[in-house]
Amino acid sequence: MNAKMEKGAMLMHKYQIGRFLGQGTFAKVYHARNLKSGENVAVKMIDKEKVMKVGLIDMIKREISVMRMIKHPNVVQLHEVMASKTKIYFVMEYVRGGELFDKVAKGRLKEETARKYFQQLIAAVDFCHSRGVYHRDLKPENLLLDEMGNLKVSDFGLSALAESRRQDGLLHTTCGTPAYVAPEVITKRGYDGEKADIWSCGVILFVLLAGYLPFQDANLMQMYRKISRGDFKCPKWFPPEAKKLLSRILDPNPITRISLSKLMENSWFQKDFTQIQIQSQPKPITLDPESEESPRSVFDIIDDQAGSSSQKPKKTENMKPTCLNAFDIISLSPSFDLSGLFDVDTNKKPESRFTTQQPASTIVSKLEEIAMSEHFQVQKKDGMVKLQGNKQGRKGQLAIDAEIFEVTPSFHVVEVKKSSGDTMEYRNFCERELRPSLKDIVWKWEGSEQPR
C-alpha cells in the first residue's frame, strides 16, 4: 500500500477508498465505503514504522483496547482494526457533521443547544468512566457531530485505563490541552482521572454558553495561575442555574469538585435529559481473513517489525526519544516557567538544553563522537545518553546525562545536566568542548548553565 491511498483504491478487498479527510503526524484519514454493506466509514491509516520508531505502539494498542470497551451512541465507534506489514488501519464510524469546535467558533450557542451537547458529553464520559476509561483530552475539537446533530466523543489516543493508576490510586501522566486541563494535572502530583475529565467538561460547557474560554491570558503562566485559582467570571447572559453548576465543576480543589453522579442530578442538567441504557457487549476485534496477514491477534500483527514479522527489534530502538506534550514544552520554556506556582527544588543540579532539527540518531552519533574524543564511556537507553568520565583521566569523576525529547519527528530538545562530579569542571567542559562540538546540529542553546 502506498504512503497515500488513491481515491477508488481497494483496502483489503473490503473497502473502497474515497476522498482524503485529513492527517496528523503519523496517520491519514479517508472516507471509505464498505463494499458488502454500502456503509460509509472513516479509515485511519497509521504508518507502523513511524510509530514504532518513536515508541507509540503502546499508545495505539491502548486506543484499540479503549475503543473496544466503549460502545455508546455518543462515542465514535471502532468497527474493525486491520494491519499489514507496514500499516495499521482503524475502520471507524463516519461522522459527517464535523467538529463541535467549528460550530462554537461562529459564536455562543443557545442555552437549549448547549445543554443538549453537554448532556450527551456527560452521558458519554460517565459511560467511559463506568468502564474504567478516562479520556484526558476532552475539548471541542475532539467532539464531532453527526448528521442528526448528535455529539460523538472521539480521539482516545491520550486516554488512560483504570489499571494505569499507581498504588496511590491516581494517574500521573501530564497530558491534555492546556486551556482545558484541570489544575491538579499541571502539578504532576497525581490526579483522579474522573475529576480531571469533569473539569474539562466544565470548560467545554462554559465555551458553549459564552463562545470563549473561561481562562484566558496572552501569557501562559498567567493563564495557569488563573486555572489553579479557578479564577473565572460568567457573562451576565448565563442562566443562574448554569452559573451555580459551573462553580461546582470548575472548583480547583478536586476533592470538593462535583462528582459525575451529583452533576447528573442537577436540575439545570436534568431538563429534557433522557438517560440511555446500554446493554451491548463489545465484540472482539480481529483481522479479516482476507487481509494481507493471517487471521491472528491484531496486537501480534502490530507488534511485528515493519517489513518482516520475524525481524528482531534493533538495539537502537532502546534509544527512542521521550515524547514531549504541551505541558513539558511549556515547563522547558523560561518565559513560561511555572515553578513559582508549585514546589521548587533548590538543590537542582546545573543543566542546560538545546533545540535541534536533527533526528535522534544524529544527536546520539554526535554525542558518541564527543565521548570518544574526550575519553568518556557511553551508555544509551530510553532516550538518555550517559557520558561517564574515564577514571584514569582528568574527567574521572565527571558524569553527564543528555536526555533527548521529541517535540515533533523533525524537532528535538536535548537536556544536558551534570549527574556527578565538579560543577566548575562541568561548566568548563560545556564551554570548551560540548558547545563547539555540537555547533553543527544545535539550533539554539538555552538554560541558566548554557555554555557562553
What's the rounded Cα separation, in Å, for the pair 335 and 158? 27
What's the rounded Cα separation, in Å, for the pair 398 and 422? 7
Catalytic residue among 47, 58, 126, 137: 137
What's the rounded Cα separation, in Å, for the pair 134 and 192? 9
At position 317, the amino acid (one-letter code) is E
Q: Which grid coordinates are listed for 352?
A: 542546560
To the query of whether residue 217 is one of the catalytic residues in this protein, the response is no
CB 381 within 8 A of CB 319: yes
Tell me the sheet residues that pair with 418.
400
Q: Which grid coordinates are listed for 169?
A: 490510586
Angle, vertex CA 60, rays to CA 11 and CA 175, nearest 5? 140
CB 40 within 8 A of CB 94: yes
Q: What is the DSSP string of 5-48?
A: PPTT-EETTTEEEEEEEEE-SSEEEEEEEETTT--EEEEEEEEH
Tell me the sheet residues that pair with 93.
41
- Cα torsion 282, 150, 193, 302 to 10°: value is 50
Q: What is the DSSP string of 196-217?
A: HHHHHHHHHHHHHHHSS-SS--
User: What region does 166 belong to: left with phi over 0, alpha with psi -120 to 50, or beta?
Assistant: beta
Residue 347, CA distances (Å) to 128, 343, 350, 397 in order: 42, 12, 9, 19
Active site residues: 137
